[in-house]
């Protein structure tokens, strides 16, 4: 059947992007070093767009002077001069936390001469459709986790109010950032939402006594004047940037594949969609606009909180990796559980996201290991399972088949090319590529921006 086209139609603007859109996604259980990769390649992009999660995410960026910056809400392009940082509709935003991060960054950078902070707030954009996190959401988060803990079913939430905010969003009672521009209407909706939640948690004394007036006063007098200029229609903004102006855009995911609300180790997951589909719904861009998808995985594996972890090391070696890799949560400070690289989980993430390349991070953490293992198969009752089982009970019982590699016992932190790496490290990287079936484009060998091996 013939199609009818109209070259003058506005819809033709969206058939072929003029700019390049790339996406960075965590390929494990989070904390893989996504922020570092985004920070490094941000200089080649006009816009960095965060599409999911909230202040439960923790990204660490190290600038050229070795200063560390921990961000939870701010996209990782904030330290790149001239780069716009967009918080999409799929994010749940705690406004006071956003400005706490901004103020800390300005304070830490105030004596630097790189010009990054001069226009920082002008380079931050917030979707008018982004749902808001309030103090009572955080109270409920902690309360719910406490109830589950009493029953031995705790999730390991960060207690930042993320789950309860996504719950009110799904229940169609949530409040979006655009409402702040009409404060009288916003206040009515705020009080209505709080009253609804109080009726659902009648036994929760702290919620019943919640000081709504104080929070509203703080928002009205302190935060709304600062955030209002940032709030825009980001859907139209992104479409114009990609399809009309030809700007390159980098999409930044929080959390990771194995924490995805649909594809992760449910219920031990986050409350949003970190995978590539979440980028489309969390920003309002079409799938056809995304040309490259990068998965970030550590050379080993970690996870924070409860839930199955097939390759976990519960011994002195796991503790040594934790200490050497400084594996403590950016958001909570909790010690991360450490284990070997799990190829089965990485391949699962590749299936879902269609990774076009991988970034293998923290190779240097394995420098002192005599030998290194990689989990290559799952067996259940002696029979290989094709991929990650949906059931956490089954995943808890899998027997992992490992391949073992000799360590390199050499400091790799100064390496900048594949040839700079010791032979055993090169063999390890090449074997991971063979096992996963996706090329590795970057290898992280230290914390700083410069500590990255770029592969052809």
Question: What is the reported pLDDT for 6?
Answer: 55
Q: Is 59 a catalytic residue?
A: yes
DSSP helix/strand/coil, 206: helix
DSSP helix/strand/coil, 454: strand
Grouped pLDDT means (10 residues each) for the chain, 456 residues = 53 79 96 89 94 86 77 90 96 97 90 82 97 97 83 76 96 97 97 97 96 98 98 98 97 95 95 97 97 98 92 95 88 86 98 98 97 98 95 95 97 96 97 98 92 90
> Taken in order 220, 225, 226, 228, is the CA torsion positive or negative?
positive
> Cα–Cα distance between 51 and 40 in angstroms, integer?
19
Q: Is 239 a catalytic residue?
A: no
Give Cα separations from 210 to 132, 163, 224, 245, 348 (angstroms): 17, 19, 21, 47, 43
Q: Going by C-beta distance under 8 Å and a sequence separation of 6 or more, which residues neighbour residue 226?
A: 99, 121
> Cα–Cα distance between 452 and 363 in angstroms, integer?
10
Question: What is the reported pLDDT for 8?
Answer: 53
Question: What is the reported pLDDT for 5?
Answer: 54
> Cα–Cα distance between 454 and 421 in angstroms, integer?
12
CA 89 to chain CA centroid, Å, is 15
Among 39, 45, 59, 131, the one annotated catalytic? 59
Question: What is the reported pLDDT for 311?
Answer: 97
Long-range contacts of residues 204-211, Cβ cutoff 8 Å, at least 24 apart: 204/139, 204/140, 204/143, 206/139, 206/143, 207/136, 207/139, 207/140, 207/143, 210/135, 210/136, 210/139
Question: What is the reported pLDDT for 11?
Answer: 53
């Amino acid at each position: 059947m013939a199609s009818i086209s109209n070259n003058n139609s506005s819809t033709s603007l969206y058939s072929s992007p003029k700019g390049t859109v790339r996406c960075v996604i965590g390929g494990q259980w989070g904390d893989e070093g996504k922020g570092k990769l985004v920070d490094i390649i941000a200089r080649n992009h006009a816009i960095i767009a965060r599409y999911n999660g909230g202040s439960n995410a923790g990204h660490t960026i190290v600038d050229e002077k070795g200063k560390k910056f921990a961000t939870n809400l701010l996209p990782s392009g904030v330290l790149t001069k001239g780069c716009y940082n967009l918080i999409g509709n799929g994010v749940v935003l705690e406004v006071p936390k956003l400005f706490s991060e901004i103020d800390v960054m300005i304070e830490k950078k105030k004596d630097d001469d790189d010009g990054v902070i001069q226009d920082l707030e002008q380079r931050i954009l917030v979707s008018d459709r982004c749902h808001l996190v309030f103090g009572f959401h955080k109270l409920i988060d902690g309360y719910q986790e406490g109830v589950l803990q009493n029953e031995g079913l705790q999730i390991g939430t960060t207690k930042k109010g993320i789950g309860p905010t996504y719950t009110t969003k799904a229940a169609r009672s949530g409040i979006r950032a655009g409402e702040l521009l009409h404060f009288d209407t916003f206040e009515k909706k705020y009080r209505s939402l709080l009253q609804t939640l109080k009726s659902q948690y009648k036994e929760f004394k702290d919620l019943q006594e919640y000081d709504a007036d104080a929070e509203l006063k703080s928002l009205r007098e302190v935060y709304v004047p600062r955030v209002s200029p940032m709030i825009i229609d980001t859907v139209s903004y992104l479409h114009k940037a990609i399809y009309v102006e030809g700007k390159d855009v980098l999409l930044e995911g929080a959390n990771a594949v194995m924490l995805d609300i649909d594809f992760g180790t449910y219920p031990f997951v986050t409350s949003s969609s970190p995978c590539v589909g979440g980028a489309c719904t969390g920003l309002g861009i079409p799938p056809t606009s995304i040309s490259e998808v990068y998965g970030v995985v550590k050379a080993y594996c970690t996870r924070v909180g409860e839930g199955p972890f097939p390759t976990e090391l519960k011994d002195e070696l796991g503790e040594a990796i934790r200490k050497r890799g400084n594996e403590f949560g950016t958001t909570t400070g909790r010690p991360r559980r450490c284990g070997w690289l799990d190829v089965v989980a990485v391949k699962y993430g590749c299936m879902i996201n269609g990774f076009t390349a991988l970034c293998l991070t923290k190779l240097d953490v394995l420098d002192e290991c005599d030998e290194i293992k990689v989990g290559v198969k799952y067996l259940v009752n002696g029979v290989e399972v094709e991929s990650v089982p949906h059931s956490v009970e089954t995943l808890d019982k899998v027997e992992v088949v490992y391949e073992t590699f000799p360590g390199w016992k050499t400091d790799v932190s100064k390496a900048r090319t594949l040839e700079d790496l010791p032979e055993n490290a090169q063999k390890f990287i090449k074997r991971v590529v063979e096992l996963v079936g996706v090329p590795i484009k970057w290898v992280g060998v230290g914390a700083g921006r410069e500590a990255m091996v770029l592969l052809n």
